[in-house]
Structure 1
Amino acid sequence: MEIVSEPTAGGRIRKKAVAPCLRPCPIERGMRLIGGKWKGSILWHLKDGPVRFNDLTRQLGGAGKKMVDQRLKELESMDMVKRKVLSDRPIAVTYEITEFGRSTLTVLEVLKDWAEEHGI
Structure 2
Amino acid sequence: MIMPCPFEGLPHGDQIERAGKSLPGGKREAAVEMGKMEIDKIRDCPVFATIKVIGGKWKPRILWHLREGAATFGELRRVVGVSEKVLHENLLALTRDGIVSRNPVKEGEMVYVEYRYTELGLSLVPVLNAMGDWGLRYAGREEKCKGSSVT
Question: In which range does the TM-score fall when normalised by the shorter chain?
Answer: 0.7 to 0.9
Residue 56 (structure 1) aligned with residue 60 (structure 2): no
> For 2:85 and 2:110, how far apart are their aligned partners in 1?
19
Unaligned runs of 5+ in 1: 1-20
> Identity rate of aligned residues, in percent?
33
**Secondary structure class of the residue paired with 2:98:** coil
2:131 corresponds to which residue?
111
1:86 corresponds to which residue?
105
Unaligned runs of 5+ in 2: 1-35, 143-151
**Equivalent residue in structure 2 for 1:24, among 18, 36, 41:** 41
Number of residue-to-residue matches in the alignment: 98
Greater helix fraction, Structure 1 or Structure 2: 2
Measured after TM superposition, the shift of residue 37 of structure 1 is 2.0
1:65 corresponds to which residue?
84
Measured after TM superposition, the shift of residue 66 of structure 1 is 0.8
Residue 34 (structure 1) aligned with residue 34 (structure 2): no
> For 1:44 and 1:102, how far apart are their aligned partners in 2?
11
Measured after TM superposition, the shift of residue 101 of structure 1 is 0.7
Query: Residue deviations 1:68-100, cap 9 Å, x none?
Result: 11000001011111101225x866211011111
> For 2:135 and 2:68, how far apart are their aligned partners in 1?
21
TM-score (norm 1): 0.72
TM-score (norm 2): 0.58
What is the Cα-based RMSD across aligned positions, in Å? 1.9
